[in-house]
Each structure stands twice: as C-alpha cells, then as structure tokens.
Amino acid sequence: MGLGFFGSIIVGGFAGWIASLIMKAGTGIVANIILGIVGAIVLNGLLRVIGIYTADAWLTQLIVGAAGACLLIWGYRKIT
C-alpha cells in the first residue's frame, strides 16, 4: 500500500526541504514539495530500471525523494 496523495505531498515536502538544506538551494516550500515529489519519481524510476525496488514505506520514500531532489538540484546547477 502506498502513501496516498496527501502522504506523498507531506513526505515530498520533507524530502525537498532536506535536499535544499544539503544542497544549500534556498528554495521555498512549493519548490521543496515539487523537488521532493519529482525527485522521488525520477529516482524510483531509475532504480526500478536497474532492478532495485524501493518499498512504499515513508522513510524509504523520504530518503529516495531527498536523494532524487539533490540530483535534480545538481543537474539544474550544471545546465545553468
């Protein structure tokens, strides 16, 4: 069972916030939520392609979302 819509937004917000602290991005709450959710989607997709399935637990999604958001911030900085 997944986190659900609101659970995903909350976990995504925390993941984006953690990523913004790690990467010193200084983004706002809306950007944090977007980065966390998109980061989790992107990294989960990449992990599944190589055969790694991440569980639907909130802690796992928080870690994957934060790592994915860090990758998005890093990538954005590289292209700008």
Spatial distance between the Cα atoms of 8 and 45, rounded to a whole number of angstroms: 16
In this prediction the pTM is 0.80
When pLDDT is cut at 50, 70 and 90, the band that residue 2 belongs to is low
Determine the pLDDT at residue 55.
64
Domain containing 44 equals 4-79
Number of separate domains in the chain: 1
Count of other CB atoms within 10 angstroms of residue 44:
18
pLDDT tens digits, one per residue of 13-45: 888 889 888 998 877 778 887 888 888 888 888
- The 10 Å Cβ neighbour count of residue 25 is 21
pLDDT at residue 11, as a whole number: 83
Q: How far is the C-alpha of 70 from the C-alpha of 79, rounded, in Å?
A: 14
Give CA–CA dist 53/34, Å, rounded.
Answer: 22
The answer to whether residue 3 scores a pLDDT higher than 80 is no
Q: Please report the pLDDT score of residue 27 as a whole number.
A: 76
